[in-house]
Structure 1
Amino acid sequence: MKTLNRTEQHQPWNLESWKNKAIRQQATYPDQQHLNQTLDKLASLPPLVTSWEIKRLKKYLAEVSRGERFLVQGGDCAESFADCNSSIISNRLKVLIQMSLVLIHGCQIPVVRVGRFAGQYAKPRSADLETRDGVSLPSFRGDIVNQNEFTEAARIPNPDKMLEAYHHSAMTMNFIRALVAGGFADIRHPEYWNIDWVKHSKSAEKFSNLVAQIKESVNFAEVLVGTKVHNLSSVEFFSAHEALHLHFEQAMTRTVPRAEGYFNLGAHFPWIGLRTNQIDSAHVELMRGIENPVGVKIGTETDDDHLIDLCRTLNPDNEPGKVTLIHRFGAKNIEDNLPRLIATAKKADLDVIWCADPMHGNTEATSNGYKTRRFENISKEIELSFKVHKENGSHLGGVHLELTGENVTECLGGARSLQEADLSKAYTTQVDPRLNYEQALELAFSIKDFYHQ
């Protein structure tokens, strides 16, 4: 492993050093005393994840970087407190379980499951203010900051929302851990993770046949060796969210006994968005000081020097599994941009994971005013990601998807060939359009095919 020198521009890191950098995408709280009291309270609460879970994920991601595992990261574009209920959480979990099983069986490779859940409560905004009919109010920045209703009282940033975000994240993680520990993902009981509204779809039928094949193989193996296979009832899940709200992220960043360094104990896998990945950014500054594996979004705007500076800043020791580059180009742009960045990373000897985000570069507006994405473009970008990496001596290590287990109609196309007129039937997202369960499962079968091309 080659060690990379820290760039000279970086001063010693501490929990407060991000405040000396360019601070972007942050809410302005009118009551500083209230904010400080809330942050003190938040910093005293138990962690949402543990340091040993974080270390285990980093180990798995190091294996992803070597092509020994595949990363599947998925979940809501923006969680809401109202969606913290058993049905929505379990359905989201079912999607990831089923997608990962398709890939494990089809690609013959272990899968690392990372959910965009239990903390994805903040969203970046294009402007600090939103104006309607001549009235300007602070933009809605997610449930962790304020409320979506367009009233002055709702839009004032409220520090107490951070405590609400913490408690909703804790409830989500507790429920997921209980489901997993209780055998929710047991291959012998796939009825636990069926989703009723699509039980007659082609994808669901295809998946049922796959499960039947796996169960038959397991039964045969058990008869052959004369003993039960005991490790089929539990799977591992890790949490992730965009590390956007810096006050919250600082409060969750702590030291732990018998381990060196600082850990962000609010999520296993925080990532930095495209709007906040500048080298002078406060977000990069806070994330460079933690032991967690870190994701960073890159796109057409990312030049060669910026890519190198990002990787060397976030991973000065060139540690395998530490940095995941989540590329988002759009199906039309990926072939013109990704080869250059792959060549740059190879020339600089950067140890990184390449992960495809086929969602954000393919967003468009329909004639009837809906923000949407076309399934064919999402699928095409993943297919091209595999192709470009292979042609350039690299490999795609994973996918990063916005999806849900609910019967939404937000992305066009897929097995049911959703059209623009269908979007109004169940368009419920707060921010970005998500794949529904049927589209997500269909995509998993496509990824399996792309993997072998």
Structure 2
Amino acid sequence: MSINFDSWRQLPAAQQPEWPDRDELEKVVAELKGLPPLVFAGECDKLKAELAAVARGEAFVLQGGDCAETFSGATANDVRNKLKTLLQMAIVLTYAAKVPVVKIGRMAGQFAKPRSKPTEARDGIELPTYRGDMVNGFDFTPEARVPDPWRLLRAYHSSAVTLNLARAFTRGGYADLRQVHAWNQDFVIESPAGKRYEQLARGIDQALAFMRACGADPNEFHTVEFYSSHEALILDYDHALTRIDSRTGLPYDVSAHMVWIGERTRQLDGAHVEFFSRIRNPIGVKLGPTTTPEDALALIERLNPDNEPGRLTFITRMGAGKIRDHLPNLVEKVTASGATVAWVCDPMHGNTFEAPSGHKTRRLDDVLNEVAGFFEVHGALGTHPGGIHIEFTGDDVTECVGGGLEIVEDDLARRYETACDPRLNRSQSLDLAFRVAELYRSA
């Protein structure tokens, strides 16, 4: 059977770079096509099965990581710190909310970002916008901002390094539940969230000691399942890393276990929806406040016509002031259609604003408010609030305001390190995890 996954090329593709040399791009694409897969189709299917459990209301998704990864961030320390934060959040949700957690990183591929404007101006100089390390450089110079297709190749190798480190940490003992205190040693003294986490860790210690005394020591306590994901924005890259699975004869995008379509690229007649309709990975779609029920149902028909459980996740990004008004109609109409989808809340992207200093930032209170609205809507409709999708870092940055350490707008310049949008720091991420656990318990 011949499968055409080139059909997207005949359709308009939003948010693609203007590569200055198409011949160079073709050379890079040819090299990418010959490289080994970063993930395997069987792993993608395993994630799909776990997301099917989420859609049934039996599990919860924790998806998070950098807004935009950088090549310089593919180091052992950076990867470990992000994983540590994700693991701590997952522990809070698993233990405090009593729910299995599917752990998905915005890691090992999140090197490109859609932008609202094609150019950026500073001091009277206008240059192309920075679109992520996969496309061009962050430095505000004409040379750095030229799209360079060879960066696609570097993105592949940085993704491979990150995945290798993540697998080593999650399989080599670092993710062992007996490490719950070690994950917190550098953090508990000064952080209110860290102190709260330490109390929870003591409870886990007692539970583990009881199980060992009973002769039980399951392997699940020593390793965790960790999956990679990114927005499949640059279609030349993700298409080049699409392979035919030898087991099934079906195409999988082996650049990540899960890929998603962004709010700016979900046009029904666009190239991204067409490409996603051909691959067999579990996929997500970001839905903003302008999404109508008709839009959502049409996306389901295009992307999951067979209603395969675990195949499609809707990631809502409404904004704290809009979610209670816009989400109910979407969830109600999709549920009434009989479609099987997992609902996940992105409480970050709808709550960005510019501080007087010029820094883009977000208030943790707005993030928490949107998550609360997400739970309220699903509680009222009797549907399952399936997870959260956030941008965070394992470092003590000052990019979002609020939280237990009381970061204010005047603090933003102190450690504002993001390459694109503001991220929660580790303390704020744990604040969020505890709040989500409370909401889940009371749902």
Q: 2:30 aligns with which of 36, 40, 60?
A: 40
Question: Which shows bigger deviation, 388-397 or 226-235?
Answer: 226-235
Q: 1:112 aligns with which of 102, 107, 120?
A: 102
Question: Which shows bigger deviation, 249-258 or 238-247?
Answer: 249-258
Q: Quote the residue 1:69 is aligned against.
A: 59
Residue 233 to residue 440, structure 1, CA distance change in 2 (3 Å)? same
| Counterparts of residues 113-192 of structure 1 (less than 5 Å) | 113-192=103-182
**Separation in 2, partners of 1:393, 1:64:** 15
**Separation in 2, partners of 1:83, 1:146:** 16
Q: Quote the residue 1:4 is aligned against.
A: none
Q: Quote the residue 2:439 is aligned against.
A: 450
1:184–1:192: 8 Å Cα contact kept in structure 2?
A: no
| Counterparts of residues 346-385 of structure 1 (less than 5 Å) | 346-385=335-374
Q: Quote the residue 2:292 is aligned against.
A: 303
Residue 121 to residue 195, structure 1, CA distance change in 2 (3 Å)? farther
In the TM superposition, what whole-angstrom CA distance separates every residue of 1:1-48 from its partner, at most 9, and x where no partner exists?
xxxxxxxxxxx9722211111111001112111111110000100011
| Counterparts of residues 133-282 of structure 1 (less than 5 Å) | 133-194=123-184, 196-197=186-187, 199-224=189-214, 226-282=215-271
**Separation in 1, partners of 2:197, 2:129:** 42
- The alpha-carbon deviation at position 63 of structure 1 amounts to 0.3
1:53 aligns with 2:43: yes
1:79–1:121: 8 Å Cα contact kept in structure 2?
A: yes
Letter in 2 for 1:137: L
Q: Quote the residue 1:435 is aligned against.
A: 424
- The alpha-carbon deviation at position 49 of structure 1 amounts to 0.5
Question: Which shows bigger deviation, 424-433 or 196-205?
Answer: 196-205
Letter in 2 for 1:152: P
- The alpha-carbon deviation at position 130 of structure 1 amounts to 2.8
Q: Does the residue aligned with 1:288 lie in a helix, a strand or coil?
A: helix
Q: 1:417 aligns with which of 395, 406, 416?
A: 406
**Separation in 2, partners of 1:169, 1:214:** 33
- The alpha-carbon deviation at position 191 of structure 1 amounts to 4.4
Residue 123 to residue 116, structure 1, CA distance change in 2 (3 Å)? same
Aligned-residue Cα RMSD (Å) equals: 1.4
Question: Which shows bigger deviation, 194-203 or 121-130?
Answer: 194-203
Q: Does the residue aligned with 1:74 lie in a helix, a strand or coil?
A: strand
2:327–2:377: 8 Å Cα contact kept in structure 1?
A: yes
**Separation in 1, partners of 2:119, 2:413:** 27
Residue 32 to residue 419, structure 1, CA distance change in 2 (3 Å)? same
**Separation in 2, partners of 1:308, 1:227:** 47
Q: Does the residue aligned with 1:291 lie in a helix, a strand or coil?
A: coil
Q: Does the residue aligned with 1:113 lie in a helix, a strand or coil?
A: strand
**Separation in 2, partners of 1:65, 1:57:** 12
Q: Does the residue aligned with 1:418 lie in a helix, a strand or coil?
A: coil
Letter in 2 for 1:417: E
2:283–2:313: 8 Å Cα contact kept in structure 1?
A: yes
Q: Does the residue aligned with 2:315 lie in a helix, a strand or coil?
A: strand
2:188–2:198: 8 Å Cα contact kept in structure 1?
A: no
Question: Which shows bigger deviation, 317-326 or 362-371?
Answer: 362-371
Q: Quote the residue 2:310 is aligned against.
A: 321
- The alpha-carbon deviation at position 199 of structure 1 amounts to 3.8
Where structure 2 has 5 or more consecutive residues not aligned to the other structure, the ranges are none
**Separation in 2, partners of 1:160, 1:195:** 41
In the TM superposition, what whole-angstrom CA distance separates every residue of 1:314-345 from its partner, at most 9, and x where no partner exists?
10101111110000111111111001101210
1:311–1:350: 8 Å Cα contact kept in structure 2?
A: yes
Length-normalised TM-score, structure 1: 0.95
Residue 163 to residue 198, structure 1, CA distance change in 2 (3 Å)? farther
In the TM superposition, what whole-angstrom CA distance separates every residue of 1:126-152 from its partner, at most 9, and x where no partner exists?
222334445433221110011122222
Q: Does the residue aligned with 1:188 lie in a helix, a strand or coil?
A: helix
Length-normalised TM-score, structure 2: 0.97
1:397 aligns with 2:386: yes
Q: Quote the residue 1:103 is aligned against.
A: 93
- Percent identical among aligned pairs is 44
2:69–2:109: 8 Å Cα contact kept in structure 1?
A: yes
Letter in 1 for 2:225: E
In the TM superposition, what whole-angstrom CA distance separates every residue of 1:61-108 from its partner, at most 9, and x where no partner exists?
000000111000010000001111111110000011011011111121
- The alpha-carbon deviation at position 422 of structure 1 amounts to 0.8
Residue 223 to residue 250, structure 1, CA distance change in 2 (3 Å)? same
Q: 1:290 aligns with which of 273, 279, 286?
A: 279
Where structure 1 has 5 or more consecutive residues not aligned to the other structure, the ranges are 1-11
**Separation in 1, partners of 2:80, 2:162:** 10
1:74–1:400: 8 Å Cα contact kept in structure 2?
A: yes
**Separation in 2, partners of 1:180, 1:343:** 38
Residue 390 to residue 258, structure 1, CA distance change in 2 (3 Å)? same
**Separation in 1, partners of 2:139, 2:185:** 32
Residue 227 to residue 274, structure 1, CA distance change in 2 (3 Å)? closer
